[in-house]
Amino acid sequence: KWSFAGIEPGVYEVVGETPRGSRATLSVDTINGSSKGLVLDFRAAVVLSGTVKEQGKAPGVDWPGGMLTVKNTYGNVVEGKEIKAGLSEYEFSLQPGKYVVIAESLGRKIQSSAIDLSSGRKGSFALDFQESMLFGDFQGASGVAPACLIQILKGTEIIVNNNVSEGQGFYKIPLAKGDYQLKVLSNYSSLAGKQGWKARSSGGYELNRAFTIDQSLRFDIPLDLTIQATVTVRETGLPLEQEFPGGKIEIYNGDKLVDSKPLLAGVSDYAFSLLPGKYVVKAESFERLESATMDLSNTKESVSCVVDFDEVVLHGRLLSNINSTIPNATVRLKSGDQVVDAMPDVNEEGDFWFVVGPNTTWTLETDIPELGFLKRSSISVGQSTATHVDLDEKIRIEGRITENDLLPIPGEFPGGKVRLVTKDGIARAECDMGIDGTFEVFAPPNLYRVEADSETRIQSIERDCTTISTQDAVINYTDIVINGQIAMRDGGVPNTFPETDIEFLLGNKAVTKVSVPQRTASFKAIVPNGNYSLKMVLKDTNVVIIQSEESYKRSCKKIVFIDSHVSRIMGNISTVLGTSEGQTSVSIYRADNGALVQTKEYGPGAAYEFYLNPNNYDIVVSNPNYTKLSKKSVTAFGDISVNFRFTHAPITFQLQMPKESTFWGSYLRLSQNGNADNLFSLCNDPFAPRDHLYTVTADIELGRTLYVAFTIEEAEPDPDETFEIERKSYVFSKAATVTPF
Cα four-point dihedral sign 366, 367, 371, 375:
positive
Same domain? 599 vs 617: yes
End-of-domain residue from the set 561, 585, 612: 561
Same domain? 125 vs 139: no
Tell me, yes or no, whether 495 lies in a domain.
yes
Distances 481 to 259, 282, 292, 341 between C-alpha atoms, Å: 79, 74, 77, 50
How confident is the model at residue 346, as a pLDDT? 86
Same domain? 107 vs 138: no
Q: Are strands 567-575 and 639-641 parallel, antiparallel or unpaired?
A: parallel
Q: What is the mean pLDDT of residues 517-537?
A: 95
Express each pLDDT in 104-116 by its tens digit. Answer: 999 999 999 999 9
Whether the predicted pLDDT of 444 surpasses 90: yes
How confident is the model at residue 16, as a pLDDT? 72
Same domain? 428 vs 349: no
Q: Which region among 20-34, 52-66, 461-475 has the lowest average model confidence (pLDDT)?
A: 20-34
Whether the predicted pLDDT of 43 surpasses 70: no
CB contact set of 181 (below 8 Å; sequence gap of 6+): 152, 153, 154, 208, 209, 210, 211
| Beta carbons of 245 and 384 less than 8 angstroms apart | yes
How confident is the model at residue 340, as a pLDDT? 94
Q: What pLDDT band is residue 170 in, cutting at 50, 70 and 90?
A: confident
Q: What is the mean pLDDT of residues 552-571?
A: 93
Whether the predicted pLDDT of 218 surpasses 90: yes
| AA letter at 478 | T
How confident is the model at residue 478, as a pLDDT? 95
Tell me, yes or no, whether 174 lies in a domain.
yes
Name the maximum alpha-carbon separation found in the chain.
203
Q: What pLDDT band is residue 33 in, cutting at 50, 70 and 90?
A: confident
How confident is the model at residue 190, as a pLDDT? 80
CATH of residue 166's domain is 2.60.40
Q: What pLDDT band is residue 348 in, cutting at 50, 70 and 90?
A: confident
Distances 93 to 1, 72, 112, 127 between C-alpha atoms, Å: 25, 13, 17, 18
Tell me, yes or no, whether 4 lies in a domain.
no
Rounded to the nearest integer, the mean pLDDT of the chain is 89
Same domain? 571 vs 600: yes
Whether the predicted pLDDT of 20 surpasses 60: no
| Beta carbons of 562 and 498 less than 8 angstroms apart | no
User: Residue 191 in 3-state DSSP?
Assistant: helix
CATH of residue 533's domain is 2.60.40.10
Tell me, yes or no, whether 218 lies in a domain.
yes
Q: What is the mean pLDDT of residues 144-171?
A: 84
Same domain? 462 vs 511: no
Q: Nearest 5°: CA angle at 397, between 395 and 399?
A: 165
Rama region for 20: left / alpha / beta (φ>0; ψ in -120 to 50; rest): alpha
How confident is the model at residue 684, as a pLDDT? 52
**Would you give the DSSP letter of residue 660?**
T
Q: What pLDDT band is residue 146 in, cutting at 50, 70 and 90?
A: low
Same domain? 720 vs 732: yes
Same domain? 653 vs 720: yes
Q: What is the mean pLDDT of residues 10-35?
A: 72
End-of-domain residue from the set 585, 618, 646: 646
pLDDT exceeding 90 applies to what percent of the chain?
68
Q: What pLDDT band is residue 168 in, cutting at 50, 70 and 90?
A: confident
pLDDT exceeding 70 applies to what percent of the chain?
91
How confident is the model at residue 716, as a pLDDT? 56
Same domain? 65 vs 98: yes
**Residue ranges making up the domain that contains 91:** 46-130
Express each pLDDT in 640-680 by its tens digit. Answer: 999 999 999 999 988 877 766 777 788 877 655 445 556 66
Whether the predicted pLDDT of 142 surpasses 60: no
Q: What is the mean pLDDT of residues 612-639?
A: 93
Tell me, yes or no, whether 27 lies in a domain.
no
How confident is the model at residue 141, as a pLDDT? 55
Tell me, yes or no, whether 210 lies in a domain.
yes
d(CA 335, CA 312): 16
| AA letter at 429 | A
Whether the predicted pLDDT of 224 surpasses 70: yes
Q: Nearest 5°: CA angle at 665, between 663 and 670?
A: 115
Q: What pLDDT band is residue 37 in, cutting at 50, 70 and 90?
A: confident
d(CA 327, CA 345): 8
Tell me, yes or no, whether 326 lies in a domain.
yes
Same domain? 290 vs 323: no
How confident is the model at residue 223, as a pLDDT? 80
Same domain? 672 vs 594: no
Express each pLDDT in 294-329 by its tens digit. Answer: 998 777 778 999 999 999 999 999 999 988 888 889
Tell me, yes or no, whether 11 lies in a domain.
no
How confident is the model at residue 559, as a pLDDT? 93
Number of domains in the chain: 8
Same domain? 520 vs 582: no
How confident is the model at residue 279, as a pLDDT? 94
How confident is the model at residue 323, as a pLDDT? 85
How confident is the model at residue 577, as a pLDDT? 93
Q: What pLDDT band is residue 225 in, cutting at 50, 70 and 90?
A: confident
CATH of residue 237's domain is 2.60.40.1120
With b for 16 or more beta-carbon neighbours within 10 A and e for fewer, the 659-695 pattern comes to eebbbbbbeeebeeeeebeebeebbeebeeeeeeeee
End-of-domain residue from the set 646, 661, 695: 646
How confident is the model at residue 22, as a pLDDT? 60
